[in-house]
Structure 1
Amino acid sequence: MPTTSTSTAAAPEPDTERFTVITGGPGAGKSTLIDRLEHAGHARTHEAGRAVIQDQAAIGGRALPWHDRELFAELMLASDLRSHRRAAGERAHVFFDRGIPDIVGYLRLEGLPVPPHVHAAAQRFRYRRRVFIAPPWPEIYVRDAERKQSYETACRTHEAMAAAYSAYGYELVPLPRASVEERVRFVTQDIGREPA
């Protein structure tokens, strides 16, 4: 009679030096930069928070930062974990529009406790050590349907993200306040991949 094993082999750890995070406060140009990197042929992820807000607003859900911040954070975490797993299947460099430590920064910014499982996720699911952070930039800051924060809150968000990534051992690399093309060159030179 054949025997079945209840143990499963652990999946190999992905090469997380291929996973580059771009973070910062809202309205600092990071998503525009990642859009341009994607247009140049690079793999990318999409910002979890914006997608959760769009989906929840479309269905009348409560996982919105102005209704249920804890549930909003949980859905962002689930989305970021999926993005991390999908990126592990990519052979190329992947740019992340925010990462799991952003959730820690968000919770702390809101004065909420960081649950142990969120802390564990930030420790376990890693990214490239050098993380790009977009500084607050009042000249380009615009509110929209998903971005309701004031510029002052955007500045506080920047500080919260910087603190969160530093706490998990990442090195922060500030993006220049420059054109999108200059930012693309800055980022691709840093990772050693000039656009074609």
Structure 2
Amino acid sequence: MSSQPNNAVTCQQLAPALVPSVESTDWMPGGPLPAALETGHKSIDFEHRQLLACMIAARSICDDFRGYRNCSGCIEARRALCENELVRLLGDLLSFILDHFKTEEEIMRDSLLIMVDRDLCEAHMEDHAAISSKIQQIVASLESHNTVNLLRELDGLLGRWINHHVALHDMMLMRWVERDDSALKTPLSP
């Protein structure tokens, strides 16, 4: 016999429909998020716009990050410039994700989702840890002749984050927060 009341909202009901992939090139910095990524939570959506801007910035570091096999064809000054830009971007990204993941994990606790569906929250937090770990691996692999490969790796990671983590974990979290009986939903004024 289930311990949930009949009117309880299950996470299965909150699961997002499959969303199409979102290309960062479809998005203009400062513009609205693509509909597939719009959570309705002001600070989370702002942070997701920052994530898209980071992806665009990473793509602009190299003249042809998709075409170059490695950086050996570039002059030393250009390799150093690209590597320095990637180091700066990775530093900003690590700082950003620590704050962003902290915000989301606070929402999990404050909304009581962690008490209702611990497995879901743990999977979400494990995804946060995997993203952080992958960025740290990229940092550990820095080498001036390999910058373009690291840019492609970072682009793939950010793309997966945008198209899978946001669309699955973040949307589910926001659906939980926005349900009628949510602990975080602000009551309407009379």
When normalised by structure 1's length, the TM-score is: 0.31
When normalised by structure 2's length, the TM-score is: 0.31
Task: Looking at secondary structure, tell me which structure has more strand per residue.
Answer: 1
Task: Looking at secondary structure, tell me which structure has more helix per residue.
Answer: 2
Q: Which has the larger radius of gyration?
A: 2
